[in-house]
Structure 1
Amino acid sequence: MEHSAMTAFRPSSFATRPGRWLRATLASVTLAGALVGCGGSVSTAEPFQAGRLIVFGDELSLMVDSDGKGNARHYGINALDSTDSSGSTVACGTANHRIWVQYLASLYGLTFAECNPNGIDDSAILALSRASYGATAADLKAQVLGFEEDLQGGFNETDLVSVLVGLHDVLQVYHDTTYATMADKEAEIYARGKVVAQMIKRMAGNGTRVLVSLVMDVGLTPYAQALGTTEAGHLTALSDQFNLGLRQNMSNDGTHIGLVELNSVVRTYHNNATLNHTELACDEDHRNTDSYAGGTRTTTGNLLNCTTATLVSGDTDPATTYLWADALHPNAYLIQRYLGQLAQTRASDNF
């Protein structure tokens, strides 16, 4: 049985930012709605200190260090280095423009090789990413099993693992014409959520702490909204079934698994009329376009190169008021930042 903590969550960096929309957003999201522990809060004599953070999932958890300089880009709106007058250098560690796993790593003072602007020695790099673009539940299984088999030596009791996957499962199943009915699609996507739950239980069984996020409501993405109300509703239903398959098969005692709800975060922001949740922040030359012919994904575009200097023009700053970088990927300044702060709180409360 799952139990929900009822303490309201108020991230400090949000609390200092003015604006009625932000205060309204924070007031509407509580740990009961966006942070759901699996088994409740547990008091420990000594707080858990992660020795390593291991990241699994899709591009919502991915940084790409294309030039090997430890200054990676992510699939969102990347911040620029203010000291570079050419405007071509990103600053991967910039506050408020990081992805959620960077917030989680910072809670324990851990550094990713992909974002290492201070040049920390390789021996001290203890935040390890195994995420990949387009990953599905099946890919997650391969990521986890591969980690167990590689030179890292598998999982141990001082490891913290993050998991976020499901976006591309939902889209693949939705577009796959081999399923005759929506009921068939819902059964398939539920089974995929169950696969994720099985991998989480496998890792937690080693004493490893696992922080998992539910998949976002794909029906609220601009990609889905452009398909019309009925089709967007189908994508929402599939998102919910994936999350149901995950949650119903992920029993634990609350000490080794923590849950954050990206779907609740996206729904909360989507309902905020002061934010732009339909237009895309990155300009046309800096977006990814994912398509799913018969359930097979292909992608084009250059979202990694979207920065605060390559945004659409408008009456408001797209970097701070647009929910979406492109049709499927959230703006790091809003959704990723909030998810990261929720993850920090859940890790502190559960572990």
Structure 2
Amino acid sequence: MSLFLNRGQTLRRVVGSIAIAAALAACGGGTSQYDKFEPGRVIAFGDENSLLTSEGKRWSINNITTDETTKVDTFSCSSNPIWVQRVASNYDYVFAECNPKSAAVKAFFRASNGAVVDDLQAQIDAQVAAGGFRSDDLTTVMIGANDILALYKQYPTRTADDLKNDAADRGKALAKQVNRIVELGGKVLLSDLPDMGLSPYALAEKAANTDVDRAELITSLVDAFNVALGTNILIDGRYIGLVQSNTRSKLMKKSPGSFELKNVKESACLASAELPDCNTKTLVEGAGNSTYLWADEWHFSPRAHYEFGRLAIARAEDNPF
């Protein structure tokens, strides 16, 4: 089963960490009347979690269908959309990298594979050089997973406390760049960092090491990052909508049946099928697009992207942008 692009749906809010919840109260939607925001463009910033290749492939699971008669495989870039595709599709917008119907392109990638927080400034600079931001631009930002992985790999050469302080500094640096987008005129859908301590990579590290709980260490780095992010962004829902991907990732792990997930601990893709080349023909036995939480050891499945996208759409529609 593949997941397809469609219009946004209303989704209940869930409570997150104290710092992020405090930011959400100010960066979330209210009950007062306001004109619904209709963006003129959608611009995606961040890392590979917000990116398609020039051929429309994603750092998740690509959907391949086989014609029963001809046995010819067909790749559909519109199936298994990543979260920013869902956001764009909510306004009937497409990215040039996935435009099978040759529609007018109103969604654009500034994200890059392997990007860390320090790279976000250059992405924003590139947008400024290309004409800048408009008051009706809706930008998306999700970045930090590669920072957390790089920091974790420095343990135990560096202490856990030192690494957590560094993670917090990176969260603060991300907040600075998000605030900069606002100053330049854009509206921001900002995703906090999902709990990477739930990843197959983190669980494998936990099993392979007996010094400390390595999965908990990774979670603590994510938490330090998110707290600093949430306490340093501009607290104004007219400009920033906070997408609580962290809370949603924890909920999918805690209650997989609520999301029709059968496996929240292992990778769906074969080890030989490295992203972005993993597809529905290169999955481990029993895996599916919508039944696994993780595509590989560090990247999310289409089902997770579906949930992050739903949250983002709800935030975009609820906020008084």
- Residues 12 and 133 (structure 1 numbering): CA distance in 2 closer, same or farther, change over 3 Å? closer
- The aligned residue for residue 135 of structure 1 is 115
CA distance in 1, matches of 2:88, 2:121: 22
Task: Kindly indicate whether residue 106 of structure 2 is the aligned counterpart of residue 126 of structure 1.
Answer: yes
- Residues 37 and 281 (structure 1 numbering): CA distance in 2 closer, same or farther, change over 3 Å? same
1:12 Cα deviation after fit: 9.1
Give CA deviations for 1:258-307 in whole Å, capped at 9, x if unaligned: 01111111111111355211222112321xxxxxxxxxxxxxxx322211
Give CA deviations for 1:301-328 in whole Å, capped at 9, x if unaligned: x3222111221113xx532211111101
Alignment: residue pair count: 299
CA distance in 1, matches of 2:132, 2:102: 26
Whether contact under 8 Å (1:174, 1:235) holds in the other structure is yes
- The aligned residue for residue 322 of structure 1 is 292
- The aligned residue for residue 192 of structure 1 is 170
Whether contact under 8 Å (2:7, 2:89) holds in the other structure is no
Q: CA RMSD in A?
A: 2.5
What secondary structure, in the 3-state scheme, does the structure 1 residue paired with 2:316 have?
helix
Whether contact under 8 Å (1:37, 1:346) holds in the other structure is no
Which structure ranks higher in relative contact order (CA pairs < 8 Å, sequence separation ≥ 6)? Answer: 2
What secondary structure, in the 3-state scheme, does the structure 1 residue paired with 2:81 have?
coil
- The aligned residue for residue 53 of structure 2 is 64
Tell me which amino acid in the other structure corresponds to 2:288.
P
- Residues 240 and 199 (structure 1 numbering): CA distance in 2 closer, same or farther, change over 3 Å? same
User: Structure 1 stretches of 5 or more lacking a match?
Assistant: 1-10, 16-25, 67-71, 287-301
Percent of aligned positions that are identical: 37
Give CA deviations for 1:197-234 in whole Å, capped at 9, x if unaligned: 01111111233210010111111100001111711111
Instruction: State the TM-score, normalized to the length of structure 1.
Output: 0.79
The runs of at least 4 aligned residues of structure 1 exceeding 6 Å deviation read: 11-15
- Residues 280 and 177 (structure 1 numbering): CA distance in 2 closer, same or farther, change over 3 Å? closer
- The aligned residue for residue 298 of structure 1 is none
Whether contact under 8 Å (1:280, 1:322) holds in the other structure is yes
Structure 2 counterparts to residues 9-20 of structure 1, below 5 A: none
1:13 Cα deviation after fit: 8.9
What secondary structure, in the 3-state scheme, does the structure 1 residue paired with 2:95 have?
coil
- Residues 110 and 146 (structure 1 numbering): CA distance in 2 closer, same or farther, change over 3 Å? same
Residue of 213, 220, 223 corresponding to 1:240? 223
- The aligned residue for residue 53 of structure 1 is 42
- Residues 87 and 338 (structure 1 numbering): CA distance in 2 closer, same or farther, change over 3 Å? farther
- Residues 244 and 44 (structure 1 numbering): CA distance in 2 closer, same or farther, change over 3 Å? same
Tell me which amino acid in the other structure corresponds to 2:140.
S
Whether contact under 8 Å (1:50, 1:160) holds in the other structure is yes
- The aligned residue for residue 4 of structure 1 is none
User: Structure 2 stretches of 5 or more lacking a match?
Assistant: 1-5, 207-211
Tell me which amino acid in the other structure corresponds to 1:320.
S
